[in-house]
Chains A and B, each alone.
Chain A
Amino acid sequence: MSDLIRLTAADLAQKLAAKEVSAVEVTTAHLARIDQVDTAVHAFLHVDREGALASAKAIDERRVNGEALPVLAGVPLGLKDIVATKGVPTTCGSKILEGWKPPYDATVTTKLREAGIIILGKTNMDEFAMGSSTEHSAYGTTHNPWDLSRIPGGSGGGSSACIAAFEAPLAIGTDTGGSIRQPAAVTGTVGVKPTYGGVSRYGIVALASSLDQVGPCGRNVLDTALLHSVIAGYDPMDSTSINSPVPDVVAAAKLGDIKGMTIGVVKEISGEGFQTGVKQRFEEAVALLESLGANVVEVSCPNFPYALAAYYLILPSECSSNLAKFDGMRFGLRAGDDGNHSVEQVMSLTRAAGFGAEVTRRIILGTYALSAGYYDAYYGQAQKVRTLIAQDFAKAFAQVDVLISPTAPTTAFKIGEKLDDPLAMYLNDVATIPLNLAGLPGMSLPIGLAPEDGLPVGLQIMAPAMADDRLYNVGAALERALLSQWGAPLLSNAPELAGA
C-alpha cells in the first residue's frame, strides 16, 4: 500500500488503466500518507476526504463499465488554496476567507475533474500568494519535507511540499513572481509556469492580474507535462487566454533531445551573489548540458537588474485593486458590524482583522504607487521597464533556444530567518521575476543538493512565448542525465518523515 505513494503519476496512471489497482486504493493510500505526515509538514489546509473518495469510486465504476478514461484518471492531486472549488473551502491562506465556499469552480478545477483527477484537498500558501516562504499563511507555515525546520518556499509551499512528502504525485500551483518555481527548487521537485495566457485564470483568485499564471507541479518532468496538458488551453471566460493549440509538452518530455540546441546563461542572474552550493550545482549542470550536445553561451539581459523593482511596484499596485473586493459585504469575514459602525468603518475593521501584515504592506504600497502624482514615477515607469525586460528576452531568444539560471539564490532557509525583513524576502525572487514580467514560460527542476547543507538546488529553464514544450524537452534531457549520475531520483535521499 505504501508503495503506491512512491509511484510516479505516469506509473500510477498505467496501473490504474491496467486495472492492477483501483482509484479508491490509490486515494486511500495517499489519504493515509497525509494522515501520517501532514501534522508535521502542514501542506494541506483542507483535506476533502469524502469528495476524493467519492470521485475515486466514480472513476472505478466507469472503468469497470469499460469506459475509456483520460490518461490521469484516478491519480490524486493537491490544489493550491487560491483555486476556486465549488462547495469546498477556498481561503487563499487568509483569515478574510476563512470557511468561504465558492459557488463555482475555476476552469482549471473543472478541467481536473473532467480528466478524472482526484483532488485530495487544498494546499497551504502565503496569504493571497504574497511571499516566498509560506510563512505568511494565516493558518501556520508549511514545513519543508527535507528539513522540517525550514521553509518549503512560497507562495505555493504547500503544493510543492505535498509532492515532496509523497502526499500526492501531482499538484497545482500559481506563479506570479516565482511562486511555483522557487518552492520547486527548494523542495527538490519540478514546477512550471506556463506562458501567460496558456492556462485559464478564471476562478484563480487574482493577485497581480498581468503576472499571475496557473501551473503544474510534479516529482519529475513527465508527470508535470501530463498535468500541464490537462490544464492548458483556451478559455473564453478568460479574456487574456491564448486561442492557440497547446504546445505538445508530453511529447517533448518523452523526447529529451537537446543535441544542437543553443542554451543561454543569463549573465545578470547566473549566480553572482548566490549561495556557493547553488552556484556550484548550476555550473555542473551547465557542463552536463554541454556534454549532451547543447551549445551553451552567455547572454546579457542588461535590464534584468531593474526587474525586482518593477515587480514590486506592479504587483502591489494591481493587488491593491484586486483585493479591494474583500470588504465583508458579500462574502468572507465581516468584523465590527455592531450597529454602531458605518459601512466604511466595517470595511476597514474587516480588512484589518482579515489581512496579515505582508498583505497590508503591499496594499498600502500599491495604493501609494498608483496615487495621483506618483503614478508616472512608479507604476507608469515600472510598466516601461516591463517593455525593456521583454525586449531583453526577445534579443536573447534571437540568439538562443532557451535561457537558464539558478532558480533561487539560496537553498531553503530556516523558518523565521527572513520574516522580519521584507526586502530580504523579496530577493528570493530575483531570478524568477523577469519571466512573469514578460509573460514567458519557465520551469524549475532539481539539479542536486548543495554540498554545504544537503538541501535541494533548482535550475530554471526559460523559453519564448508558447514554446513551453522546449522547457520539457531540455528538462527531460537534463533530468535523464542527472538520474543516471545519481542512480535514483533526488527525492529518495529525502529524510523519512516520522509519523504523526
Chain B
Amino acid sequence: MSAISRDDVSHLAKLARIEIPETELDHYAAQLGAILDAVDQIASAPTDGVPAMSHPVPMTNVFRADVPAESLSAPEALSGAPAVEDDRFRVPRILDEE
C-alpha cells in the first residue's frame, strides 16, 4: 500500500518549488496514491539480473570538438526575461547562502 500523505505532498511540493494550497493537498494525495497503487505492480516484474536502460540508443562516446560556435547576443539572450538590469537577469532576493 503506497499511501502518500498530505505532508508528503507538501514536502514534495517544496522540493519541486510549486506552491500547492493547503486546500488541495488532500486531493493531490488521493490522486497520487491511486496512481502509485497502479504502478506498484512494477515491483513484481522479473527484473532480477536485468540491467537498467537509461538510453534506448546503444551509442557511446558522442563528442563535440572544442571549437567555438556562435553565441546569442545579450539582447537575444535577455529577450524573454521578466526583468533585466545592466544586461543581466534581475531576480528576487536570494535568502540562502550558496
Q: Which of B34-78 contact A (CB under 8 A)?
A: 34-36, 38-43, 45-47, 50-57, 59, 62, 64, 72, 76-77
B18 CB-CB contact with A under 8 Å: yes
Q: Which segment of A121-129, A146-154, A331-339, A397-405 sits at the interface?
A: A331-339
Q: Which residues of B contact A102 (CB under 8 A)?
A: 80
A423 touching B35, Cβ below 8 Å: yes
B57 touching A240, Cβ below 8 Å: yes
Given A100-B80, A103-B80, A331-B80: A348 touches B52 (CB 8 Å cut-off): no
B82 touching A334, Cβ below 8 Å: yes
Distance A331 CA – B95 CA, assembled complex (angstroms): 22
Query: How many residues from B make CB contacts under 8 Å with A?
Result: 53
A331 touching B81, Cβ below 8 Å: yes
A487 CB-CB contact with B under 8 Å: no
A385 CB-CB contact with B under 8 Å: yes
Q: Which residues of B contact A437 (CB under 8 A)?
A: 56
B23 CB-CB contact with A under 8 Å: no
A381 CB-CB contact with B under 8 Å: yes
Q: Which of A316-369 contact B (CB under 8 A)?
A: 320, 324, 327-334, 337, 339, 341-349, 351-352, 355, 360-361, 363-365, 367-368
Distance A345 CA – B18 CA, assembled complex (angstroms): 9
Q: Which residues of B contact A309 (CB under 8 A)?
A: 38-42
A348 touching B80, Cβ below 8 Å: no
Distance A375 CA – B92 CA, assembled complex (angstroms): 33
B35 touching A365, Cβ below 8 Å: yes
Q: Which residues of A contact B81 (CB under 8 A)?
A: 330-331
User: Which listed residue, B4, B77, B94, touches A342 by the CB 8 Å rule?
Assistant: B94
Separation in Å of the B35 CB from the closest CB of chain A? 6
B28 touching A361, Cβ below 8 Å: yes
Separation in Å of the A188 CB from the closest CB of chain B? 30
Q: Is the interface of A mostly helix, strand, loop or mixed?
A: helix
B92 touching A210, Cβ below 8 Å: no
B16 CB-CB contact with A under 8 Å: yes
A320 touching B16, Cβ below 8 Å: yes
Please give me the residue from chain A that is nearest to B14 by CB atom. A348
Given A309-B42, A367-B12, A382-B42: A352 touches B20 (CB 8 Å cut-off): yes
Q: Which residues of B contact A303 (CB under 8 A)?
A: 45-46
Distance A347 CA – B82 CA, assembled complex (angstroms): 12
Distance A355 CA – B28 CA, assembled complex (angstroms): 14
B52 touching A384, Cβ below 8 Å: yes
User: Which listed residue, A236, A337, A385, A423, touches B34 by the CB 8 Å rule?
Assistant: A423
B17 touching A351, Cβ below 8 Å: yes
Knowing that A240-B57, A328-B82 touch, tell me 8 more A-B residue pairs with CB under 8 angstroms: A309-B40, A312-B38, A344-B17, A364-B16, A364-B18, A378-B42, A387-B52, A437-B56
Chain B residues packing against A (C-beta within 8 Å): 4, 8-9, 12-20, 28, 31-32, 34-36, 38-43, 45-47, 50-57, 59, 62, 64, 72, 76-77, 79-83, 89, 91-96
9 A-B contacts (beta carbon < 8 Å): A303-B46, A344-B17, A344-B96, A348-B14, A348-B17, A361-B28, A368-B12, A384-B51, A387-B53
